[in-house]
Structure 1
Amino acid sequence: MGIRTAVSDVSFMKSLFTAAERVAHELGDPVMGAEHLVIAALDREDLDRSDLASLPLDAPRFRDAVIAVHAEALGSLGLAGTSTPIDDHPRGVLHSTASAQAVFQDARKRARERRATLRAVDIVAAAAHLEYGTTARAIDRLGIRRAELEALAR
């Protein structure tokens, strides 16, 4: 990896993690998860939207799907699905769920294999590998096939 790629990746990671943690806190989640990384990636200005043109996928839709998945999970426990935003300072990837770390590591691997900089679409495509959890259920809720998401980063 060249120095330009490394610098670009560090800048990308810093802004992505800050945005993802903000999303997590807005949704009332104390820890950043894979679903928050995906929302933040989908909301980036540098995301090539043409990659997603054939899919019903954008930040607001995915965010709504995540909220619905959370509400369903709470409802199955007999709890009302309300979230309270959290006012806390960003702490980075080390304060994230295992699924968020797995998505990030998979995205980095994809970028290294291409010998290119890390992109938002790498995060979205890496999320397709998750079989369980909020992110997987939100993808299913939108009716998106995982193979379609994985193909985005090729």
Structure 2
Amino acid sequence: MGIRTAVSDVSFMTSLFTAAERIAHELGDPVMGAEHLVIAALDRDDLDRSDLASLPLDAPRLRDAVIAVHADALGSLGLEGTSTPIHDHPRGVLHSTATAQAVFQDARRSARKRRVALRAVDIVAAAARLDHGTTARAVDRLGIRRADLEALGR
């Protein structure tokens, strides 16, 4: 991996993690999860939107689907709840769920294997490989086949 790729990856990670943690806190989640990484990735200016043109997926849609998945989970427990935003300072990837860390590492491995800088679409494709959890349920809720998202990273 060249120095330019390494510098690009560090810049990408810093902005992605900061945005993902902000999104998590806005949704009332104290720890950043894979769903927050994907929402942040979908909201990036450097995402090639033509990759997603055939899919009903963007940051606001996924955010709404995540909120609905959380509400369904609470409802299944007989609870009604709304998210209460958390006002805290970003703490980075080490303060994220194991699933978020796995998605990030999977995306990094994929980019390295292709010898390219890490991209937002790599995060989306890595998250598509999740079989369980909020991200998988939110994508399913949108009627998107995870295989179609995974193909974006190739």
Equivalent AA in structure 2 for residue 109 of structure 1: R
Return the letter of the residue paired with 2:35: E
The alpha carbon displacement at 1:78 in A equals 1.0
User: Matches of 1:49 and 1:130 in 2, distance apart?
Assistant: 22
| Secondary structure in structure 1 of the residue aligned to 2:87 | coil
Distance 2:99 2:62 in 1: 17
What is the CA-CA distance between 1:110 and the residue it aligns to?
Answer: 0.8
Q: Which runs of 5+ in 1 are unaligned?
A: none
Query: How far did residue 153 of structure 1 move?
Result: 1.0
1:120 corresponds in structure 2 to: 120
Deviations 1:126-145 (A, max 9, x none): 00111111001001001111
**Once superposed, which parts of structure 1, at least 4 consecutive aligned residues long, lie more than 2 Å away?**
none
Identity percentage of aligned residues:
88
How far apart, CA to CA, are the structure 2 residues paired with 1:75 and 1:145? Answer: 25
Aligned partner letter, 1:23: I
Which residue matches 2:31?
31
- Tell me, yes or no, if structure 1 residue 85 matches structure 2 residue 68: no
Provide the rounded CA distance (Å) in 2 between the counterparts of 1:116 and 1:24. Answer: 28
Partner AA of 1:14 in structure 2: T
> Which position in structure 1 is the counterpart of 2:11?
11
Taking structure 2 as the reference length, the TM-score comes to 0.99
SS of residue in 2 equivalent to 1:100? helix
* Count of equivalent residues: 154
Amino acid at match of 1:93: V
Q: Which structure 2 residues correspond to residues 143-154 of structure 1 after superposition, within 5 A?
A: 143-154=143-154
Structure 1 residue 134 corresponds to structure 2 residue 147: no
* Structure 2 CA distance for aligned equivalents of residues 145 and 35 of structure 1: 16
Amino acid at match of 2:20: A
* Correspondence for 1:51: 51
**CA deviation string 1:56-100 (max 9, x = no partner):** 000000000000000000011111120100000100000000110
Long gaps (5+) in structure 2: none
* Rounded Cα–Cα distance in structure 2 between residues aligned with 1:151 and 1:131: 15
Match in the other structure for 2:72: 72
CA distance in 2, matches of 1:147, 1:75: 29
* AA in 1 matched with 2:21: E
- Mapped partners of 1:132, 1:95: distance in 2: 21
Give the Cα–Cα distance (whole angstroms) in 2 for the partners of residues 76 and 153 of structure 1: 34
**Aligned equivalents of 2:153 and 2:101: distance in 1?**
18
